Amino acid sequence: MSFPVRAITLDLDDTIWPIGPVIARAEAALGDWLERHAPRTAAHWPLEARRALRDAVAAEHPHLAHDFTRQRMISLERMFAAAGDDPGLAAPAFDAFFAARCEVEHYADSLGALDRLAARVPLAALTNGNADLERIGLMHVFRFQLGARDHGAAKPEPSIFHAACERLGCAPADVLHVGDDVEMDVVGAHRAGLRSCWINRDDECSAAREWPRDDVRPDLEFPSLAALADWLDAQPIRQDAA
């Protein structure tokens, strides 16, 4: 399939890097910090208990579904209070978690593919997560990063896609959204009027999946960002790219 693309919005977690190992390392870093600075809390809240608390906080605060940072801060404050420690420790504890959360290991094709994509059209990061591209060292290939927390609503809400298109100066139909998640990325982009590309990886971190829906399909499907870059390189260069 061929169609004009003036700009690309990109999901981050499980699109540019696998998120599972990142969160595992971040949780381990938080556990180490608690052992050193708040041993009572560490003893009271082992990993599985912390995960259960996070789930409970998310269920209690559906209005914060777009704000993983605030959800985790609430969880940390409750943990310290329940263990008899100072809830003010939540901020430095979160800093320890977040530093590790930004230590990502990219898929092998990601960095080269991002450079190739950015050489053709403007890129914008569009994420429900709270990764910081400045800390990760990738901000140079993106025009901007728009997160659900900053926007106030998460994918698949059309408003976050439309806000990104407005900042890019493009009509939604001229923007290609790229991501791994069926509902958040592909269905969300479709309903917001964007083109969509499903990154359906088949590697050591995940197996390729069958498309699960009959009513909506992605405009493009590739096993990697490199394959998307190959497709884009084969398209005619538009002189009016944003």
- Tokens 């590309």 locate to 197
Sheet holding 7-10, edge to edge: 144-147, 123-127, 7-10, 175-179, 195-199, 220-222
Name the residues annotated as catalytic.
Answer: 11
Whole-number Å distance between alpha carbons of 47 and 173: 44
Picking from 143, 138, 218, the residue whose alpha carbon sits closest to that of residue 181 is 218
* Distance, CA of 33 to chain centre: 25
Please give the structure tokens belonging to residue 23: 């969160």
Nearest to 10 by CA among 224, 226, 185: 185
Q: Kindly state the tokens that stand for 144.
A: 């901007």
Distance in angstroms (rounded) separating the CA atoms of residues 127 and 179: 9
